[in-house]
Structures are given as structure tokens and as C-alpha cells.
Amino acid sequence: MSPPIRFLLQHEPPPVGPLGIVAVVDVSAGQCTVVVNAAGADPLNNPAALGNPAKWTMAFNSTLYQGIAIVNSSFDRFIVQFSSVGISLGGNTISYTNAPSDIETVSGRKLPAVSNQGF
């Protein structure tokens, strides 16, 4: 009889440094998906429960939006839902006021403020 085969599971190490926005996708006139540099070994820590949607603003197609809800999506992304609050004369951007930051990974990596990041 041959000896048992053992498999070692390799886990990717969690990223180091601050949490950051990698992309803003699935943008519409009422929501967008924010993708951050979280990893499966260090996922987002329930942004829907911990995050304050009012800290998010988005300018899209000449309209300014204010965040009204956050929905969990996956280990590295969440959906921000918005309500129209006015006219925007600039390009398509997203901003996050993190005073204090409430978007973080389970290891405590926090999202810094984001000001008019284009998408």
C-alpha cells in the first residue's frame, strides 16, 4: 500500500499597505460598484453594515449624486446606491470622505479619502 498523499493548501498572503480603489464599474444613473485591492485572505469587512453611504458622492453624466445605501457584493467590491442631488459640470468621478474611515478589510486596512477619482 502506498503512503497517503498530503495536500498543502496555499493561502495567498493578505496585501499590505492602505486599502485603495482599483476600479469603479457597472456605473449607472443610480449606482456603481466600487472595486478595492482586498484579497480573499483579507476580504472587506461588511461594508453594508459598517459603511456610511452619505460619505460617498459621484458625478456621472453631468449629474451629482449622494450615496444613500451600500450593498455587499464580494470580497473585494461593494455597490453604492445614489440619489441625484444636483448638476455636475465636471467629468465622471467618485469621492469618499473618510472622517473616520468606515470601509475596511477584516485585518483593519482602511480606505483613505478619495477626492474626484475619475472613472
- Per domain, the residue ranges of the chain are 21-118
> Is residue 1 over pLDDT 80?
no
User: What number of helices (H) and strands (E) belong to the chain?
Assistant: 1, 7
> 8 pLDDT band (50/70/90 cuts)?
very low
Q: State the DSSP code for 13.
A: P
Q: Find out if CATH 2.40.128.20 is the number for domain 21-118.
A: no
Q: What is this structure's pTM?
A: 0.85
Q: State the DSSP code for 42.
A: B
> 7 pLDDT band (50/70/90 cuts)?
very low
pLDDT digits (tens, 9 = 90+) for 69-84: 999 999 999 999 999 9
> 99 pLDDT band (50/70/90 cuts)?
confident
